[in-house]
Structure 1
Amino acid sequence: MQKRWSVREMPDQGNVEKLASELNIDPVLSALLLQRGIADFEEARFFFRPDIRHLHDPFLMADMEKAINRIEKAIDKGEKIMIYGDYDVDGTTAVSIVYSFFKKFTDNIEYYIPNRYTEGYGISTQGIDYAAANGFDLIVALDCGIKSVDKIAHANSLGVDFIICDHHLPGDQLPEAVAVLDPKRSDCDYPYKELSGCGIGFKLIQAYAEKNGIPFEEISCYLDLVAISIACDIVHITGENRTLAHYGLQQLNTNPCTGVKVLMEVAGKKERVNISDVVFLLGPRINAAGRIDDAKHAVELLIATSMEAAREKGALINIQNTERKGHDLSITDEALSIIKQDEVLINRKSTVVFNETWHKGVIGIVASRLTEKYYRPTVVLTRSNGHVAGSARSVLGFDLYEALSGCSDLLTQYGGHKYAAGLTMPPENVPAFMDRFEEVVNATITPEMLIQEIRIDAEITLDQIDSKFFRVLSQYGPFGPENMTPVFLSRGVNLHNQPSLVGMDHLKMCVMQQGSAIFDCIAFGQALWLPELKRGLPFDICYTIEENVWRDRRSIQLNIKGIRLSDQL
């Protein structure tokens, strides 16, 4: 696939040199700080040294005091409390920490995860009716509920109170709950707006702990789950999230909860865990429970206190993850076949594919894979409970939610973010939706958006990369949205040896420039360049810098994101 390279504009050279001198670091590294809005020594110290004291006062969040008062009342009076959360990683981690924490203060507490297939996303009427029928007085909803105006009204009519802890953008009207915790409320002055759903749950228990004189050390044990939610829900890793992720990763690597310890075992992870490991090894396994069977299995794993119980659930979830992979690969192959055999679909600026037998639990993954392949807004549809359910993914810069809004008259329900969304519609609307979605995308997407972009942070020469450079660069993590791993460009590099093919589509090689050390490289998905590289001509690379560990040997490795011949523009 064609990709365009774009190099970020470098900050003012005087500011770059000044900050480099203050911090005693390479000017390229100080330029990266300035690109992140870090302009002086104090701001850099704050960035490089996350401190638990950087966390904001939870009572700055609108309705927090109301929420804590209602929970205290429920505990004091022995009322039944339900901890309710979504079936994805963010929801299950949120339920796990809030349930585990308040279980210490009351036995009248249960958790509830809606079934993906029978109840769907968010707060369900079935869940509310279950709570009312079983004598629950209070529901604490996590990672959902901000737009559930009608559902909360239904709960109120049954005498069931709600506290909503959500991080999604509110609609025009807030639900009439006892408390609505969401930093994105227009009337909420909380300083940081990008917490995960689990992060909101953590602020809730932080507030309860502060009000009741409970030491922070008694809640810091939950930060491993908060870090998992931050990584897997793709929220910004800036500000408070960066502090939570930093300490959460420390917890993951020193003293994770029993369930996470088992999760790392079954994932085969023995080295230190980073954000990427969480996203690609831990997150898919937690998600697999809800995709294949019931997300309650994930919660049971994450709240387990004995290794025996955790290993039993961990083994089950690992099997479910294997099953999920099988569905994922087979459905992706079927979807690619549909597109390849249809000239109209091939030439569209969007992808919409439908098969009523596809497994609903993996269509989001399939949508992501199709987006990677064709790089255009994508919707994958299947049949579910008499309706057609879909999962949608977008490309950089294109607002998927707005595009779905342009099809709203054809949809029963839709929701999500700029780059990922879910939707349902009557089966008879599928053909009209395919055409309408294409019309909306065609009218609003720009040609540049349909060419995948590699954003390059800085151009450097290979001789600038040494152990100090890498050590300082590593402290820019944890990496994630709004603090992505820096991508570098080096021009006119040469092969030190002949590149070798790894698997079907990857390359391993060693490169150098005049005066530089020799660097091992891995280039995923770049096998098409093998014939050109064998010609021995100089070429340009864009890459990230990482540590490779092989048999206890640690070395700096370049992870190549793009290759082009040096005479190409």
Structure 2
Amino acid sequence: MLIRQRHAEPSQALLANVSPLLARIYAGRQIQDPAELQLDAAGLHPPAQLQDIAKAAALLADIRQQQGRILIVADFDADGATSCALVIRALTQMGFQHIDYIVPDRFTCGYGLSPEVADMALARKPDLVITVDNGISSITGVAALKAAGVNVLITDHHLPGDTLPDADAIVNPNRFDCTFPSKNLAGVGVAFYLMLALRAQLRQAGAFADSKEPQLADLLDLVALGTVADLVPLDRNNRILVEQGLRRMRAGRCCAGIAAIVKRAGRNLGQLNTGDLGFAVAPRLNAAGRLEDMSLGISCLLSDDPINADRFAVELNAINEERKRIETDMREQAAIIMADRELQALAEAGNELPPILCLYRADWHQGVVGILASRLKEQFHRPVLVFANAAQTTPGGNVATAQHDAADVTASEGMELKGSGRSIPGLHLRDLLDRVASQHPGLIDRFGGHAMAAGLSLASDQLEAFTQAVTETAREMLDEEMLTRTVVTDGNIAAQDLQLATAETLREAGPWGQAFPEPLFDGEFTVLDQRIVGSNHLKLRVRPHGSQQSLDAIAFNVDTDIWPNPSCKTVRLVYRLDVNDFRQQRQLQLVVDHILP
């Protein structure tokens, strides 16, 4: 592992507006103009810059005039759930009377507006189908709806293919012909922008002359949650959306469902931050889509009754606990496979792992492969593709934990496999899959995604050939530097800044998130005390070099074969400043990401 420090000189304008420490941190994130730190809603890019948004708003306005039937097709993750809840809430406020939604069963229908989902939609007899957080690749499904005389409006943010679906309108900032400045909107951000455009259209037509105009800013709690959950880069436009949503949540002005999930997650609504959304709230929503039915999550977000919302939150919490159990089983099984791979690599390639890891077990749960890929990517610093049987796993199904023989990791002939991948910086995963598909026609059935995450399906008897092809292609696209884990920090922090006030300032200086990372520091410390708390967390008492101050620190999930280490008196820590709020006592705590003797 390499530790690299950011080196960026802040501008005089930046130094005149914030402390030297914050100026250094912001400069390291390519911010030099203090105006970029202004996160008022007035700073959002205007909706008119989105291609097709006027056409989409007019289509919705016509449906309202006729009081036609609208059916929303939502994705089965937190972005899709928040998008669906936002559109239903907004349309209801704007006078639409016939709104319904469906969430495709990820285990039987797959992703997006597939032909199977189109058939389900037609059974509801809609006049208009709206996709949220999906649809940009649903050419066949859209064609089926259009052939039946149903209008189709696509809202999505995923990268399009060479051909767009023949929908009545497509709102997606990543369309090649779209000039919207921020390409990083989440699906819920796209949905929010469409509702802004629709409200403007209805306002101009006098639709609110005799009624109160909807306050769409009240829906920014949903936008913030979906944006953080989907790990889209937090450019200034997204930071505005997230910050405005967080402000409403902290003030208690969020929907009852979010408040209930936050409470069941053991977080403080009044002090909520992006970490709470990403690591506590979003996983509980996502668990429903992974193991059960995301309709449960959408129902929670649509609930206005705190008691009813809490009942949903309790159920989501239980599903998330089951998700964690399944994930633990899969990680243990993956560790065995990786141990075998590593031994093979040691023998054949001089202690080198392959450039990409492709893993499969017959009993792995299709709904959790994405999480497993993410965990293994972090562990081995390799792009990872994890596969499960498409037909074998059912919603809520359990994964067997008994010992398995070698046949369990060999795909059965004739079975369809669903895979989920996560990448490392420098390798665009969707482009990798596109290159494999182009060079090896017929090898992959379907694929899609982003630079850092993608999904695909293929026939089980193609797994071995695919593994070989994707490994060769990854080797062409990666170099040694990309495959070396590099931790980028904001450097050392002066001893006088290691205090509670600094931690509180940094917490409020965000929102932090994808592509706008929370400040991370590194430095050398003397170890005064070390012990294990819980099962595998290392509690430390440390002193910065050159200082007499002692500080609490904690490193989660350490290797207990290595720590505690009484012989280790000096360590280099890569850490974040955190506020430890315990028994109404607020103290500074260092949260250690990496510890090096």
- Give yes or no for TM over 0.5: yes
Further displaced range: 467-476 or 551-560: 467-476
Instruction: Assess if the C-alpha contact under 8 Å between 2:74 and 2:102 holds in 1.
Output: yes
Aligned to 2:485: 452
Counterpart AA for 1:231:
V
CA distance in 2 between partners of 1:384 and 1:529 (Å): 38
CA, structure 1 residues 204+494, in 2 after alignment: closer, same or farther (shift >3 Å)?
A: same
Report the TM-score, using the length of structure 2 for normalisation: 0.87
Instruction: Assess if the C-alpha contact under 8 Å between 1:461 and 1:490 holds in 2.
Output: no
1:442-481 matched pairs, under 5 angstroms? 442-466=475-499, 469-481=502-514
1:470 CA displacement:
3.7
Aligned to 1:152: 142
Instruction: Assess if the C-alpha contact under 8 Å between 1:132 and 1:159 holds in 2.
Output: no
Further displaced range: 519-528 or 74-83: 519-528
Match of 1:348 among 346, 354, 360: 354
1:140 CA displacement:
1.1
C-alpha deviations, 1:539-563, integer Å up to 9, x for none?
A: 3322221211111111222222233
Matched residue SS, 1:243: helix
Matched residue SS, 1:421: strand
Aligned to 1:205: 195
Aligned to 2:549: 517
1:210 CA displacement:
2.6
The answer to whether the aligner puts 1:95 opposite 2:98 as a matched pair is no
Matched residue SS, 2:110: coil
1:96 CA displacement:
0.6
Match of 2:182 among 186, 192, 198: 192
Instruction: Assess if the C-alpha contact under 8 Å between 1:206 and 1:216 holds in 2.
Output: no
Matched residue SS, 1:327: helix
CA distance in 1 between partners of 2:15 and 2:319 (Å): 53
Instruction: Assess if the C-alpha contact under 8 Å between 2:36 and 2:236 holds in 1.
Output: no
Instruction: Assess if the C-alpha contact under 8 Å between 1:523 and 1:560 holds in 2.
Output: yes
CA, structure 1 residues 90+532, in 2 after alignment: closer, same or farther (shift >3 Å)?
A: closer
Matched residue SS, 2:354: coil
1:54-73 matched pairs, under 5 angstroms? 54-73=43-62
- How many residues align? The count is 552
CA, structure 1 residues 187+21, in 2 after alignment: closer, same or farther (shift >3 Å)?
A: closer
C-alpha deviations, 1:434-468, integer Å up to 9, x for none?
A: 22222222333222222322101233332233455
CA distance in 1 between partners of 2:582 and 2:290 (Å): 34
CA distance in 2 between partners of 1:242 and 1:93 (Å): 17
1:186 CA displacement:
2.4
Instruction: Assess if the C-alpha contact under 8 Å between 2:538 and 2:563 holds in 1.
Output: no
1:87 CA displacement:
0.5
Counterpart AA for 1:555:
Q
The answer to whether the aligner puts 1:379 opposite 2:369 as a matched pair is no
Match of 1:500 among 531, 549, 567: 531
Matched residue SS, 1:423: strand
CA, structure 1 residues 99+130, in 2 after alignment: closer, same or farther (shift >3 Å)?
A: same
Matched residue SS, 1:494: strand
CA, structure 1 residues 387+55, in 2 after alignment: closer, same or farther (shift >3 Å)?
A: same
CA, structure 1 residues 131+535, in 2 after alignment: closer, same or farther (shift >3 Å)?
A: closer
1:527 CA displacement:
4.9
Match of 2:457 among 424, 429, 435: 424
Counterpart AA for 2:56:
A
The answer to whether the aligner puts 1:390 opposite 2:419 as a matched pair is yes
Instruction: Assess if the C-alpha contact under 8 Å between 1:145 and 1:166 holds in 2.
Output: yes
CA distance in 2 between partners of 1:87 and 1:52 (Å): 29
The answer to whether the aligner puts 1:399 opposite 2:414 as a matched pair is no
Aligned to 2:412: none
C-alpha deviations, 1:163-182, integer Å up to 9, x for none?
A: 11111122222222111111
CA distance in 2 between partners of 1:324 and 1:538 (Å): 39
CA, structure 1 residues 33+134, in 2 after alignment: closer, same or farther (shift >3 Å)?
A: closer
Match of 1:74 among 63, 84, 93: 63
Aligned to 1:22: 16
Aligned to 2:242: 245
Counterpart AA for 1:31:
R
CA, structure 1 residues 78+20, in 2 after alignment: closer, same or farther (shift >3 Å)?
A: closer
Instruction: Assess if the C-alpha contact under 8 Å between 2:381 and 2:484 holds in 1.
Output: yes
CA, structure 1 residues 142+359, in 2 after alignment: closer, same or farther (shift >3 Å)?
A: same
C-alpha deviations, 1:367-390, integer Å up to 9, x for none?
A: 122222222121111111341111
CA, structure 1 residues 69+524, in 2 after alignment: closer, same or farther (shift >3 Å)?
A: same
Instruction: Assess if the C-alpha contact under 8 Å between 2:356 and 2:474 holds in 1.
Output: yes
Instruction: Assess if the C-alpha contact under 8 Å between 1:494 and 1:536 holds in 2.
Output: no
CA distance in 2 between partners of 1:22 and 1:311 (Å): 46
Matched residue SS, 1:415: strand
CA distance in 2 between partners of 1:131 and 1:345 (Å): 49
1:32-47 matched pairs, under 5 angstroms? 32-39=25-32, 43-47=33-37
Instruction: Assess if the C-alpha contact under 8 Å between 1:33 and 1:44 holds in 2.
Output: no
The answer to whether the aligner puts 1:120 opposite 2:110 as a matched pair is yes
Structure 2's unaligned 5+ residue stretches are 347-352, 392-414
CA, structure 1 residues 327+503, in 2 after alignment: closer, same or farther (shift >3 Å)?
A: same
Match of 1:53 among 42, 49, 60: 42
Instruction: Assess if the C-alpha contact under 8 Å between 1:87 and 1:290 holds in 2.
Output: yes
1:58 CA displacement:
1.4
CA distance in 1 between partners of 2:501 and 2:363 (Å): 54
CA distance in 2 between partners of 1:531 and 1:419 (Å): 32
Counterpart AA for 2:539:
K
CA distance in 1 between partners of 2:573 and 2:475 (Å): 33
CA distance in 2 between partners of 1:479 and 1:24 (Å): 17
Aligned to 2:338: 339
Counterpart AA for 2:589:
Q
The answer to whether the aligner puts 1:31 opposite 2:24 as a matched pair is yes
1:521-536 matched pairs, under 5 angstroms? 521-527=553-559, 534-535=566-567
1:217 CA displacement:
6.6
CA, structure 1 residues 222+293, in 2 after alignment: closer, same or farther (shift >3 Å)?
A: same
Instruction: Assess if the C-alpha contact under 8 Å between 1:363 and 1:391 holds in 2.
Output: yes
Aligned to 1:260: 258
Match of 1:545 among 564, 568, 577: 577
Match of 2:165 among 165, 175, 190: 175
Further displaced range: 334-343 or 160-169: 334-343
Further displaced range: 94-103 or 512-521: 512-521
Matched residue SS, 1:135: coil
Further displaced range: 78-87 or 345-354: 345-354
The answer to whether the aligner puts 1:441 opposite 2:474 as a matched pair is yes
Instruction: Assess if the C-alpha contact under 8 Å between 1:462 and 1:512 holds in 2.
Output: no
CA distance in 2 between partners of 1:365 and 1:209 (Å): 38
CA distance in 1 between partners of 2:381 and 2:290 (Å): 25
CA, structure 1 residues 312+538, in 2 after alignment: closer, same or farther (shift >3 Å)?
A: closer
C-alpha deviations, 1:188-244, integer Å up to 9, x for none?
A: 222322111001111111122233336787212211111111111001122111011
Matched residue SS, 1:184: coil
Matched residue SS, 1:314: helix
CA, structure 1 residues 312+387, in 2 after alignment: closer, same or farther (shift >3 Å)?
A: same
1:37 CA displacement:
3.0
1:471 CA displacement:
4.4
Instruction: Assess if the C-alpha contact under 8 Å between 1:499 and 1:530 holds in 2.
Output: no
1:504 CA displacement:
4.1
1:564 CA displacement:
3.1
CA distance in 1 between partners of 2:333 and 2:523 (Å): 39
Aligned to 2:375: 369
Instruction: Assess if the C-alpha contact under 8 Å between 2:58 and 2:201 holds in 1.
Output: no
1:349 CA displacement:
3.0
Instruction: Assess if the C-alpha contact under 8 Å between 2:416 and 2:459 holds in 1.
Output: yes
Instruction: Assess if the C-alpha contact under 8 Å between 1:79 and 1:137 holds in 2.
Output: yes
CA distance in 1 between partners of 2:256 and 2:564 (Å): 50
